[in-house]
C-alpha cells in the first residue's frame, strides 16, 4: 500500500535459475515498491517473499548474501573514485565475482575515468559503475530498478551482454525498465503490474 492506496494485489510469481523477469507497468503502479519488498527492504502488507522455500526474513543474512539490489539511488560515494567505491563494496561481501575491478570497469568503458571522484562523473558513467558493483557482487539474484537509466546506446548494449551472461551462467535477474532490452537469446518473461493494480 501507498498511503490508503493498494498498489497491487493477488500477485504471485516464481523466478527460477537462468531466468530474467522484466517487471513493467505505468508510473505509480508500484514497481519500485515491489523491488524493495523483494530485496527485503520493506515487508509486504500481506503475503510472503520466499527464497529456497523459506521466508527471506527467516535467515536474512543468507538471503542478502545471495542478492544484489540496485535502486534509483545508485549509492556511490561522491568523494571516492570508482575503484575506491568498488573495492569498498567488495570488502563488505563475503564472496565476490570472478572478475576483478579493473576488468569490469574496462568492460563497461569507464576505466579511463576510474581515478576521478564519482561526483565529477556523468550520470551515465555513475550508472555503469553501479552495474560494475552488481557484477562484482557475485550474487545469484540481481534486483535492478531501471538499470538502463542515463545509459547511451553503447552502454545499453554492454548491459544487455552482461545480463545475458549472468543468466546463461545460471543467475537470476528481476528488473524494471522502460527500455526494451534485447533478451531474445535468454529465458525471460514479462510481468505487467497494471493487471494486478488495486
Give residue 21's pLDDT band: very low, low, confident or very high (50, 70, 90): very high
- pLDDT-derived band at 197, boundaries 50, 70, 90: confident
Q: Is the residue at 57 inside a domain?
A: yes
Q: Is residue 14 part of a domain?
A: no
Q: At what angle do helices 153-168 and 123-136 cross, to 10 degrees?
A: 10
What is the overall mean pLDDT for the chain? 90
13 inside domain: no
Of the listed ranges 54-58, 100-104, 151-155, 162-166, the least confidently predicted one is: 100-104
Exposed, middle or buried by CB within 10 Å (0-12, 13-18, 19+), for 117?
A: middle
pLDDT in tens, 61-99: 999 999 999 998 889 999 999 999 998 887 766 454 445
- Looking up residue 115, the CATH number of its domain turns out to be 3.40.50.300
In a domain, 2, yes or no: no
91: Cβ–Cβ under 8 A, 6 or more apart, which residues?
none
Is 89 part of a structural domain of the chain? yes
Range of the domain at 44: 19-196
- Residue 195 confidence (pLDDT): 84
pLDDT in tens, 151-177: 999 999 999 999 999 999 999 999 999
Amino acid at each position: 500500500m501507498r498511503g490508503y492506496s493498494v498498489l497491487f494485489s493477488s500477485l504471485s510469481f516464481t523466478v527460477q535459475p537462468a531466468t530474467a523477469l522484466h517487471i513493467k507497468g505505468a508510473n505509480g503502479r508500484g514497481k519500485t515498491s515491489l523491488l524493495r519488498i523483494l530485496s527485503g527492504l520493506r515487508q509486504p502488507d500481506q503475503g510472503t517473499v520466499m527464497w529456497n522455500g523459506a521466508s527471506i526474513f527467516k535467515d536474512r543474512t543468507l538471503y542478502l548474501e545471495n542478492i544484489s539490489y540496485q535502486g534509483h539511488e545508485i549509492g556511490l560515494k561522491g568523494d571516492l573514485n570508482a575503484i575506491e567505491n568498488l573495492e569498498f563494496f567488495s570488502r563488505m561481501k563475503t564472496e565476490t565475482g570472478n572478475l576483478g575491478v579493473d576488468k569490469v570497469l574496462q568492460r563497461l568503458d569507464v576505466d579511463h575515468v576510474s581515478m576521478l571522484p564519482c561526483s565529477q562523473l556523468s550520470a551515465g558513467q555513475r550508472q555503469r559503475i553501479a552495474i560494475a558493483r552488481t557484477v562484482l557482487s557475485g550474487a545469484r539474484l540481481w534486483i535492478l530498478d531501471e538499470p538502463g537509466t542515463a545509459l547511451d546506446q553503447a552502454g545499453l548494449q554492454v548491459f544487455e551482454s552482461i545480463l545475458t551472461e549472468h543468466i546463461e551462467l545460471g543467475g537470476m535477474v528481476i528488473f524494471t525498465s522502460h527500455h526494451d532490452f534485447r533478451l531474445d537469446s535468454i529465458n525471460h518473461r514479462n510481468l505487467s503490474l497494471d493487471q494486478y493494480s488495486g
